[in-house]
Amino acid sequence: MNLIGCTSLKELPDFSGIPNLKRLDLYECNSLVEIPDSIRFLHNLVTLNVDHCSNLIMFPRKINLRSIETISVSYCKLEEFSEFGEEMYFLRELNLIGTCIKELHPSITKLIRLEELDLQDNQNLTTLPYNIYELHNLKGLGAIGCSKLAIFPKVPVKMDSLRGLFLDGSDIRELDESIGNLTVLEMLYLSSCKNLTTLPWSIYGLQNLQRLDLGQCAKLVRFPTNTNILNVDGCSLSLPKLRSIDISGCTSLSDCDFLMTLDCWETLDSLDLSYNNFVSLPACITKFVNLRRLVLSGCKRLREIPELPPNVSIQRTTLLELLEERLSTLTNPGAMIEVASPSIEEPTPSSCLSLSSKTPKRHRSAEEPSPTPVNPPKRQRTAAEGQASMVHFAYEMAISPVPMFPDLHTAHHSTTTPQLQLQALATELSRLSLSSESTKPRGPVRGDQHLWLSLNSEPSTSEFRQ
């Protein structure tokens, strides 16, 4: 029965006379206030959609639909959901999104085949059922944007079904050590949990975890001490399958040395450290041989980048910020950018950058003549060159030990004024800034429920942040 968009519909008929109904779609029936008790007669109902019925406030006290597979109730005024009957053993997907529900009935454990439970944007939800671990087929659990949810229940026994746990934007302050019992967990999302301060040491024992998102957890002060996690062979394993780590905006973290304790050298391909206060990166970063994406945007205190893996790509904004840093040294003569290089050979992307008050040291042979400062040639850009040439130029400016603007490089002790040279560099920086897309801190993850049944596929940023 398709009643989509019947905005004037205030009351539903008695369903006792149509027991063979298989689908009931009430999407955007904005005047509908109540789902009648007669729905219990729909023993063949497979799908119930009550999404965006903005004035809905009442659901039957108990439902026992023995053929139902999907129930979706979203963005309404419903404050209490039904008790679940004994015969609802075919229900696989339960979406209660954007309601006013404060808690779920403990009878939810009767849903023995439930695979997806989405509780996104339930602003009044304060607790999850303590026995939720009894849902032995649950694959995805989402409580994104549940801003009053402060505690995730203990998992006293091994739960070998849950693969995705999405708690972004909740009020979670800590996770219990029993989180280690989620033995097949692949995705753990805790971004924008503003009150999260610590993580349990058992998180290192999640042997199948592939994605860990802690972005914008501003109160996270440290990672736990990594006590050795041993596999059956007695070997130490610490997040061995991890592919992506996001700790952007964790401004209370003083360093990222926890990376040294991980065993995902061959699997990690994305590392987001943006908008943090790190001064340096651990040298072990070069051991992540398959790392392809490194985000350092907004790390204004960063002074050293060690040797990097061969295929890594740094966000363009990082290069711009290094260029801005070089520009700022012209107005602060006491600081210069120094490249740690043993010779004057062409630097590679893995060159180590540092900021010091010393003039860059140059190593030359006795026969090598000193360079003669020349004015930089005008760079001609065609439309075909596009952004690539701009980014390359920024990269050269950021890492080259030979100054791109020799006169500016020594402007602090020159007898001439550096205004014209500053203007030239500022103009180039402006062009680069206009052609680059900034990487900004993002908020809670949205729309993850469609990924729960295909967690092996690589989600894009646009799928996660909408």
Q: Greater confidence, 210 or 449?
A: 210
Whether pLDDT at 218 is above 90? yes
Q: End of a domain among 328, 346, 381?
A: 328
pLDDT digits (tens, 9 = 90+) for 70-98: 999 999 999 999 999 999 999 999 999 99
CATH number at residue 62: 3.80.10.10
Domain identity same for 159 and 116? no
What DSSP line would sit under 97-165, residue for residue? ES-------GGGGG-TT--EEE-TT-TT-----TTGGG-TT--EEE-TT-TT---PPP--S---S--EE
Specify if 430 maps to a domain: no
pLDDT average, residue stretch 246-258: 94
Lowest mean pLDDT among 72-86, 96-110, 313-327, 400-414: 400-414
The closest of 319, 328, 364 to 344, measured between CA atoms, is: 364
Domain identity same for 180 and 321? yes
What DSSP line would sit under 7-51, residue for residue? TT---PPPGGG-TT--EEE-TT-TT--B--GGGGG-TT--EEEEE
Instruction: Please compute Rg for the chain using Cα positions.
Output: 28
Domain identity same for 169 and 117? no
pLDDT at position 432 is 45
Beta bridge partners of 230: 236
Which of 190-194, 278-282, 317-321 has maximum average pLDDT?
190-194
| Greatest distance between any 2 Cα atoms in the chain | 101
- Number of folded domains in the chain? 2
Q: Greater confidence, 398 or 114?
A: 114
Q: Which amino acid is at 138?
A: L
Residues 155, 157: Cα–Cα separation, whole Å: 6
Domain identity same for 162 and 118? no
- The single residue listed with the structure tokens 């809905």 is 56
Domain identity same for 104 and 160? no
Quickly state the pLDDT bin for 424 (edges 50, 70, 90): low
The closest of 284, 283, 308 to 295, measured between CA atoms, is: 308
Specify if 202 maps to a domain: yes
User: In this structure, are residues 75 and 100 in contact, taking their beta carbons and an 8 Å threshold?
Assistant: no
What DSSP line would sit under 329-357, residue for residue? HHHSTT-EEEEE-SSSSPP-TTPEEEEES
Specify if 131 maps to a domain: no
Specify if 195 maps to a domain: yes
Domain holding 48, by residue range, is 1-122
Specify if 141 maps to a domain: no
Domain identity same for 55 and 156? no
pLDDT at position 314 is 83
Specify if 431 maps to a domain: no
Domain identity same for 179 and 318? yes
pLDDT average, residue stretch 395-415: 38
Domain identity same for 55 and 181? no
Domain identity same for 186 and 263? yes
Specify if 233 maps to a domain: no
Whether pLDDT at 204 is above 80? yes
Domain identity same for 104 and 183? no
Whether pLDDT at 449 is above 70? no
Domain identity same for 156 and 116? no
Q: End of a domain among 328, 355, 377?
A: 328
Domain identity same for 255 and 313? yes
Specify if 76 maps to a domain: yes
Lowest mean pLDDT among 103-112, 301-310, 370-379, 396-405: 396-405
Average pLDDT in the chain: 77
Q: End of a domain among 328, 363, 395?
A: 328
Whether pLDDT at 114 is above 90? yes
pLDDT at position 328 is 56
